[in-house]
Amino acid sequence: MPNPSLPRQTGTRQSPQERVKNFNEVAQGLDKEHALEEASRCLNCKNPRCQAACPVNVQIPSFIQLLLKDDVKGAVSKIMETSLLPAVCGRVCPQEKYCEGACVLREKFGSVAVGLLERYTADAARKQGLVTPPTPAEATGFKVACVGSGPSSLACAAELKRRGHDVTVYEALHDFGGVLRYGIPSFRLPREIISEEVKTVKAMGVKFEQDVLIGAVISIEELLKDFDAVYIGSGAGLPTMAGVPGENAVGVYSANEFLTRINLVKAYEFPKADTPVKLGKRVIVLGGGNSAMDAARCARRLNPESVTVVYRRSRAEMPAREEEVENAMEEGVKFEFLTIQKEILTNEQGHVIGLKCLKAELGEPDAKGRRRPVPVEGSDFVIEADSIIVAIGQKPNPIIPKTTPGLKMTDRGTLELEADGQSSIKGVFGGGDITRGGATVLLAMKDGLEAAAKISQYLSDKEPKGGK
Ligand SMILES: Cc1cc2nc3c(=O)[nH]c(=O)nc-3n(C[C@H](O)[C@H](O)[C@H](O)COP(=O)(O)OP(=O)(O)OC[C@H]3O[C@@H](n4cnc5c(N)ncnc54)[C@H](O)[C@@H]3O)c2cc1C
Ligand code: SF4
């Protein structure tokens, strides 16, 4: 019998004092005993709201029931019917907005900790060698190229392969995973977890090519000569800057550059690593999303005197995962809410010395329903700083649209798609952050899965370019 009134499990974490000294994973997850206890809280609902709220429709009650029978292999295979990245999603998915936010137990007892159970299942299966990559259907003879190796392309590539197509993923960087690899730090998502889940996609027979910048090394037009269809999942890797005076000063980083230095080339190990990162004593991070929290928490681990997040709305409006805001606070990151950046102040050498700010009040809701910050006249004040990390948003890199004649983009610089999933160029599809302009791992995966179905539909009345 389910027992929803048992206390909701939260897992253990490294202590704040300890974890600010290292880049090892903070959240330790559940052991078997606690995972089974948590699983026993689930009511196995007939119409599971948790599952309906999951963008990729993970069969949540079914995998939890298999886990309860100690069938880890069955449980992980059940999740992998719709998501090949369970260990990643169990760690970084904003469950409070999706499955756990919709769980029937939320109000009375606290939602089932679906994220922790997904993570436990994936980790236990991996450790016991129970992860079985899905078997692809018979080869169709069609070849599809996926641009980028973030969650969107990985989901699309795996689903296309499952449907029997021959798939090649082209990645501009020297390693695979997209933002999972270069944006999200190892203390939230260990590198080996990403590598293992990419390995599952490789084991299905998807081919991977690194260091290939599509649009420079090979154009989309050229890809279309060899491939029957192309999926663009190149993300939104171009930083949006704050547009305030002083932004070109020495000591200003985009979150993108800062996080890439830390996560991809381990600049915190300099001089052991080739690339340094210099922050000085006082660091300011602009923004309130996941990038801002990741940048602030990485900065904290480089041991400056202070790290201050400046966010123009209040805590309630922050788009970052709740858990990461709490983690940042526990780690000693300071927050200046309802504060708008006005100018970056510099010394004679052009180096950052501070940030001039204005206080704000919340006004009417914007198009997304979030209340707008309204500056309070005459409330100027200065926060002293040696470096400023700008984490206020991202947009797609223009290299592909610039080198692809006829590829229609929206005014926001995102890829425009028709109802059948195609772009303005026949046979070219897209999804993830390049179409959304920045979202979540699961929404990117959802786009990839849906595009794979649409690509298969598109190919269904064609002959393979290379013949059957
Ligand atoms: C710092 C940070 C933290 C985040 N934290 C979370 C989180 O905790 N939870 C969550 O759900 N979401 C989070 N997000 C959002 C989430 O990571 C993204 O929505 C998701 O990764 C988008 O997936 P994607 O596959 O569309 O693009 P990406 O992950 O950006 O992958 C695109 C890939 O394409 C490659 N590429 C780009 N151009 C080319 C080209 N021309 N040729 C070849 N390759 C190319 C890039 O190098 C990259 O590897 C975070 C985002 C950031 C930036
Ligand atoms: S809604 Fe909650 S209780 Fe119901 S099946 Fe989903 S996780 Fe279990």
* Ligand closest to the CA atom of residue 400: 1
| Nearest ligand 2 atom to alpha carbon 61 | 5
Distance in Å, CA 439 to ligand 2 centroid: 25
114 close to ligand 2 (CB < 6 Angstrom)? yes
> What integer pLDDT is reported at residue 468 of this predicted model?
65
Domains 143-237+396-459 and 240-394 share a fold: yes
Distance in Å, CA 127 to ligand 2 centroid: 27
Q: Packing angle between helix 290-301 and helix 322-330, nearest 10 degrees? A: 20
3-class SS of residue 456: helix
* CATH 3.50.50.60 at 240-394, yes or no: yes
* Ligand closest to the CA atom of residue 100: 2
**Opening angle at CA 350, ends 347 and 355, nearest 5:** 60
> What integer pLDDT is reported at residue 418 of this predicted model?
96
Cβ proximity of 82 and 57 under 8 Å: yes
* CATH 1.10.357.10 at 12-127, yes or no: no
> What integer pLDDT is reported at residue 153 of this predicted model?
98
- pLDDT (tens digit, 0 to 9) for every residue of the chain, 468 residues total? 899 999 999 999 999 999 999 999 999 999 999 999 999 999 999 999 999 999 999 999 999 999 999 999 999 999 999 999 999 999 999 999 999 999 999 999 999 999 999 999 999 999 999 999 999 999 999 999 999 999 999 999 999 999 999 999 999 999 999 999 999 999 999 999 999 999 999 999 999 999 999 999 999 999 999 999 999 999 999 999 999 999 999 999 999 999 999 998 888 888 888 888 899 999 999 999 999 999 999 999 999 999 999 999 999 999 998 889 999 999 999 999 999 999 999 999 999 999 999 999 999 888 878 889 999 999 999 999 999 999 999 999 999 999 999 999 999 999 999 999 999 999 999 999 999 998 899 999 999 999 999 999 999 999 998 776
The count of other CB atoms within 10 Å of the CB of residue 449 is 24
- CA 357, chain centre distance (Å): 30
Domain boundaries defined on the chain: 12-127, 143-237+396-459, 240-394
- CATH code for the structural domain at 143-237+396-459: 3.50.50.60
> What integer pLDDT is reported at residue 295 of this predicted model?
98
> What integer pLDDT is reported at residue 370 of this predicted model?
83
The count of other CB atoms within 10 Å of the CB of residue 347 is 12
Best mutation site among 221, 290, 404, 446 for ligand 1 pocket (most ligand atoms within 8 Å of CB): 290
Query: How close are the terminal C-alpha atoms of the chain, in Å?
Result: 54
Question: The pTM is what?
Answer: 0.95
Best mutation site among 261, 441, 449 for ligand 1 pocket (most ligand atoms within 8 Å of CB): 441
